[in-house]
Copies of this chain bind each other. A is one copy, B any other.
Amino acid sequence: MKRTIYFKNHPKIIATSTVAGPKESNGSINKYFEVKLNDDMFGEDTFEKAETKMLYTVIKNSIKNAKYDEDNIDCIIAGDLLNQIISSTFSARKFKCGYLGVYNACATFSESLIVGASMVDGGYMNNVICCSSSHFSSAERQYRYPLELGNTRPPQSQWTITGAGASLISSNGVGPMITAGTIGRVVDYGITDANNMGAAMAPAACDTLFAHFKETGLTPDYYDLIITGDLGTLGSRILKDLIWEKGYDIEKQHVDCGELVYNICEQEYQGGSGAGCSALVFNSYVYNKLNKGLYKKVLLVATGALLSTVSTQQGESIPAIAHAVVVEGNI
């Protein structure tokens, strides 16, 4: 059994694109976002259609940003939090290329990067778009309660990001390179509180990080940045404790996308979450700094809580997963 795979031909992320919701567009890294929405309906009549339009927009813009046209794209690899990943499907419907739907909850974006990098590195495809999205209002009403109820949120909760991000991975061109990935396994520590995703996901992040360090022989200081997807403040603290107990101190390198995206005030509690969280932050803030040479080696570890409303109602605990992707700058 091996979980770390290496991309020897160094597939490159030649372009990215992001769309951020209104709250995110007022957050701490807003200047890096490409499209900032004033209206979380994005001119549509349902939240689900708005999310679909966000994902469609980042796919379209990533092609434009690469100065490519649609005919250059072999495949869209996408996933999202909605039942039957409809945001992904209905976005892909507008393009002529192939489509592979993927789902690992909020780890979907890094899963899509691993599958996409394998396809390009292995010579099966030349240009692949990897993307994911989430929308606070479509997720909240699907996973928790109708928004109209105005439920009080517990202090350990996170705020599902309204956002989408896409990476165009190519066998040619210039951009940060995907050099390796460590595939997550399903980890379940028995957490049953669907409002405490950070605690459910931190053990999965620890498991994948530990496998990554062990299999590659690397230590945290190899990286300029170890960025988790959406553990939030509490989950990040748990991760740093867990991985420290395994002999690795990631305090200096670690940042969490969910912590980074908001000027955390009372409403978001532990920070952002959602399949759009790592996609939004990676494809804006992180990509920008990789391109400028400010980061040279980044480990993206997006984490996902693999529950559904039915699994929760049937008394199941919350399994989680984390996929790690190594992205190295060209400068």
Contact surface of A with B, Cβ cutoff 8 Å: 1-3, 5-6, 46, 48-49, 70-75, 79, 81-86, 89-90, 92-93, 95-105, 111, 114-115, 118-119, 121-126, 142, 183-186, 188, 306-311, 314, 316, 319, 321
Alpha-carbon distance A26/B82, docked complex (angstroms): 36
Partner of A89, one of B119, B125, B306, B309: B306
The answer to whether B1 and A99 touch across the interface, beta carbons within 8 angstroms, is: no
Counting every copy of the chain, the complex holds 2
Alpha-carbon distance A89/B82, docked complex (angstroms): 16
Which chain B residue shows the least CB distance to A112? B100
Q: Point out the residues of chain B lying under 8 angstroms from A310, CB to CB.
A: 48, 82-83, 86, 142
Q: Given the interface contacts A95-B185, A104-B100, does A1 sit within 8 Å of B73 by beta carbon?
A: yes
Alpha-carbon distance A84/B79, docked complex (angstroms): 11
The answer to whether A1 and B185 touch across the interface, beta carbons within 8 angstroms, is: no
Q: Point out the residues of chain B lying under 8 angstroms from A114, CB to CB.
A: 100
The answer to whether A74 and B319 touch across the interface, beta carbons within 8 angstroms, is: no
The answer to whether B122 and A118 touch across the interface, beta carbons within 8 angstroms, is: yes
The answer to whether A75 and B307 touch across the interface, beta carbons within 8 angstroms, is: no
Q: Given the interface contacts A72-B1, A100-B102, A115-B115, does A314 sit within 8 Å of B95 by beta carbon?
A: no
Q: Point out the residues of chain B lying under 8 angstroms from A95, CB to CB.
A: 185-186
Q: Point out the residues of chain B lying under 8 angstroms from A79, CB to CB.
A: 103
The minimal Cβ–Cβ distance linking A66 to chain B, given in whole angstroms, is 14
The answer to whether B96 and A185 touch across the interface, beta carbons within 8 angstroms, is: yes
The answer to whether B125 and A124 touch across the interface, beta carbons within 8 angstroms, is: no
Q: Given the interface contacts A71-B1, A310-B82, does A98 sit within 8 Å of B48 by beta carbon?
A: no
Q: Given the interface contacts A86-B311, A92-B185, A118-B119, does A1 sit within 8 Å of B103 by beta carbon?
A: no
Q: Point out the residues of chain B lying under 8 angstroms from A183, CB to CB.
A: 74-75, 98-100
- Report, nearest first, the 9 A-B pairs whose CB atoms are least far apart: A122-B122, A98-B183, A84-B308, A5-B124, A89-B306, A93-B186, A101-B103, A83-B83, A83-B308
Alpha-carbon distance A111/B89, docked complex (angstroms): 14
Alpha-carbon distance A3/B99, docked complex (angstroms): 10
Q: Point out the residues of chain B lying under 8 angstroms from A70, CB to CB.
A: 1
Q: Point out the residues of chain B lying under 8 angstroms from A3, CB to CB.
A: 74-75, 97-98
